[in-house]
Amino acid sequence: MELSSPVRYVKGVGEVRERALLRLGVRTVEDLLFLFPRRYEDRRCITPLSALIEGAFASVVAEVVSFENRPAHRKGLSIASVLLSDGRDTVSAVWFNKPHIGDMLIPGARVALYGKVERWGGLQLSNPEFEVLDESDPESVGRIVPVYPATAGLSPKWVRRIVFSALDIYLPEVRDYLPEETVRKYGFPELHDSVMEMHKPQGRESWLKARNRLAFGEFFLLQAGLLLRKRHRISARNVSGPMKAGEKFDAFLKSLPFRLTGAQERVIREIASDLASEAPMSRLLQGDVGSGKTAAAVAALVIAVDSGFQAAFMVPTEILAQQHFFRLKTFLENLGIHVELLTGSLSRPARRQALDAIASGGAGVVVGTHAIFGEKVVFDRLGLVVIDEQHRFGVMQKNALMSKTLSPHVLVMTATPIPRALTLSIYGDLDVSLLDELPPGRKPVKTHHMRTSQSGELMRFISDKAKKGRQIYWICPLIEESEQLDLSAAYSRFLDLKERLPDLRVRLIHGQLPSDEKEAVMSSFEGGEVDLLVATSIVEVGVDVPNATVMVIEDAAHFGVAQLHQLRGRVGRGEEESHCVLLTGKSTPEGAARIEAVLSTSDGFKIAEMDLKQRGPGEICGVRQHGVTDFRVANLARDRKLMERARQEAAELAAKDPGLRNARPLAEALMSKLGATLELAGIA
Ligand code: ADP
Ligand code: MG
């Protein structure tokens, strides 16, 4: 039996419970050892029943006197209640719709309960968690008791028992992958002790030490993986050799219709210096919506072409591909650079023609969706890939892409500011440039919160803006379950708005429209022939129409904060004052908090931090399924310092011992835990 053996072989588990454990993320014997309690109950200090305080949470131990289950007033509901006694006082505990707990709460049983104290006539514990105590089980009384996550078919108590017995047998076999030196340097407790402390804490302080040590370990492992991958990539020679800005680049700078911001100049220098080196660039360019990332990217494209290479510019949607294509075309063709568009929906002849131009090298720059990396696409001399709105593609696609195309220079851009801790953990192998300055003269977008019931007022506002020649976006609710529903909601909103605003030219755009129609709608909006554009959240990324100054987001509480921020970023791109109207009906407390967050600031990074706290890393970057940020202990939103230190340590190690010759346990842990995710094969 090994640590990596499936958990079903642990005595007492078996196949049925294995399935339940899988739901808790436990696959192997080792996972079981690292399945930590979700909270602890301090049963050293039990509240006597006489000391219960209304409104507070309390942990009590008492004996069951009687049990009863009766129907509630409302049909279909039942109330189970037990009378409890601690020898001096009595109190009741009640649960809704749990008729069967009477099977466990038999008179005479001693029970530990944890829950909220409320007053209904007398004091009672409402819906408490409980555990029937087994006096012969010393783990359950008189100490700090771990409460494990439960799932259908597994009680927390069963989980505790199985984890404890696994600890006795298997913990000694767990090897520490943190280098001894690091453990000493930080005065970390020993690994086995730390794991033990998590399960059976002695006290607050020792628990915290153990917890931080384990969190550090998790960060360290990921950082080591990312940094080694980076070293590996750098040491691979890039396809092109050094690139150098030339005539076209000078012409590009001269032809810009505006002065570059200081941040743009700095970023372009950073990119140019990467391109001038032997090693392939892998750089992440972060900049809030509207910070002018495109200009920086175009500078890179031009340098590549100047150096005799082709460059690809990849974006997540067709609309965006078309928009960028038209923009770049007029601009770059003046510099003598031929631009091709490649998306999945090109007609056959158009596609044939594009592929030929790409293969012959006639196309200097190719703009497109991921179709750019289709199998049939062969570049003559691809030297640079720019990926716009990277967060829309997902992390792993980026990796696949980088390995497929023989190490060209890669620049990825994202408009969703990513909290630093998260950047380091999912893009930890990239260099980061920051566009932290908006072009001059931008007025901040005024953000308003309106109720659905105020729609009359909103209609007046919209038609007033339209009369003044401004354009308006109206984003329809996001109905996640089905694109079809999204669509029908958008369609009926479109009809409704047309009727209510008869003087306005109203158009509808959504993802399922054929692409030439999408293109037609978008270009008439850009051309000012549409006043009000009703859209599904399709316009979220990248679209740039400076004359559009009003963004209405219907059912705004359903969107994530980062998404709201992105949508708001579609306006405020011109000289005129812009408005973003967040329209809500009834919303959940979380929804209201999101609205509040977006109203409170227009700083994308602040918003990103809030997003990380509210939704967690997996939701933000769509990385959940890849496991990169599936930490058992570490918390990206809170452990940022720990993460930075772990990264520092990992960097030192990667520099000193890139082959991990003196860190075998680390190399093994990397392979077994992150090998597949990070494609580390052959690196460590
Ligand atoms: P994003 O970073 O969101 O991709 P864009 O590159 O689309 O932003 O730029 C937003 C708008 O700002 C565009 O209309 C662009 O022409 C304009 N812009 C970019 N840089 C500058 C600058 N230095 N001065 C004035 N306007 C600029
Ligand atoms: Mg952009």
Mean pLDDT of the region 140-144:
72
Give the per-residue pLDDT at 624: 43
Which of 253, 256, 258, 540 has the most ligand 1 atoms within 8 A of CB, as the residue to mutate?
258
Mean pLDDT of the region 211-235:
87
In the chain, DSSP finds a helix count (H) and a strand count (E) of 23, 20
Calculate how far, in angstroms, residue 546's C-alpha sits from the geometric centre of ligand 1.
10
Q: Which ligand number lies closest to the CA of residue 331?
A: 1
573 Cα nearest atom in ligand 1:
11
Q: Which of 130-134, 409-413, 584-588 has the highest mean pLDDT?
A: 409-413
Helix (H) or strand (E) holding 431: strand 431-435
pTM of the entire structure? Answer: 0.70
Calculate how far, in angstroms, residue 156's C-alpha sits from the geometric centre of ligand 2.
49
pLDDT averaged over every residue in the chain: 86
Calculate how far, in angstroms, residue 331's C-alpha sits from the geometric centre of ligand 1.
14
Residue 312 pLDDT grade (very low, low, confident, very high; cuts 50, 70, 90) = very high
289 Cα nearest atom in ligand 1:
3
| Partners of residue 472 on adjacent β-strands | 532, 550
CA-based nearest residue to 577, from 439, 441, 415: 441
Calculate how far, in angstroms, residue 293's C-alpha sits from the geometric centre of ligand 2.
6
293 Cα nearest atom in ligand 1:
2
Tokens of 599: 């109203």
Place of tokens 């202990």: 633
Give the per-residue pLDDT at 157: 82
11: number of CA atoms within 13 Å, CB side?
8
Phi/psi at 361 (nearest 5 deg)? 90, 0
Nearest CA to ligand 1 atom 18: 292
Give the angle subtended at the CA of 222 by the CAs of 621 and 4, to the nearest 5°.
Answer: 110
Tokens of 481: 């379950």
Is the model more confident about 223 or about 441? 223
Phi/psi at 14 (nearest 5 deg)? 75, 180
Residue 376 pLDDT grade (very low, low, confident, very high; cuts 50, 70, 90) = confident
Beta strands in 554-613 (DSSP E): 579-584
Q: What is the DSSP letter of 439?
A: P
Distance CA 281, CA 70 (A): 69
Distance CA 414, CA 291 (A): 11
Q: Are 88 and 65 in contact (CB under 8 A)?
A: no
Calculate how far, in angstroms, residue 346's C-alpha sits from the geometric centre of ligand 2.
23
Q: Which ligand number lies closest to the CA of residue 320?
A: 2
Calculate how far, in angstroms, residue 374's C-alpha sits from the geometric centre of ligand 1.
30
441 Cα nearest atom in ligand 1:
25
In tens, the pLDDT along 27-84 reads: 999 999 999 998 888 777 788 899 999 998 888 889 999 999 888 777 778 899 999 9
In tens, the pLDDT along 6-31 reads: 999 988 888 889 999 998 889 999 99
Alpha-carbon torsion angle 272, 274, 279, 281, nearest 10: -100
- Cβ-in-10-Å burial (0-12, 13-18, 19+) of 656 comes to exposed
Nearest CA to ligand 1 atom 9: 292
Q: Are strands 506-509 and 579-584 parallel, antiparallel or unpaired?
A: unpaired
| Partners of residue 553 on adjacent β-strands | 475, 582
295 Cα nearest atom in ligand 1:
6
Report CA-CA distances (Å) from 429 to 227, 270, 284, 302, 669: 6, 16, 10, 25, 19
Q: What is the DSSP letter of 374?
A: S
Place of tokens 């559009």: 548
| Rg (the chain; Cα; Å) | 30
Calculate how far, in angstroms, residue 303's C-alpha sits from the geometric centre of ligand 2.
19
Distance CA 101, CA 63 (A): 15
CB under 6 Å to ligand 1: residues? Answer: 258-261, 264, 287, 289-295, 415, 439, 544, 546, 573
Nearest CA to ligand 1 atom 26: 439
Calculate how far, in angstroms, residue 38's C-alpha sits from the geometric centre of ligand 2.
41
Mean pLDDT of the region 472-483:
75
Report CA-CA distances (Å) from 560 to 365, 447, 586, 593: 34, 16, 16, 10
Give the per-residue pLDDT at 683: 47
Percent of the chain with pLDDT over 70: 89
Mean pLDDT of the region 577-597:
88
Q: Which ligand number lies closest to the CA of residue 313?
A: 2
Distance CA 121, CA 396 (A): 58
Q: Which ligand number lies closest to the CA of residue 572?
A: 1
Mean pLDDT of the region 457-463:
96
287 Cα nearest atom in ligand 1:
2
Tell me the residue type at 390. Answer: Q
Distance CA 134, CA 484 (A): 54
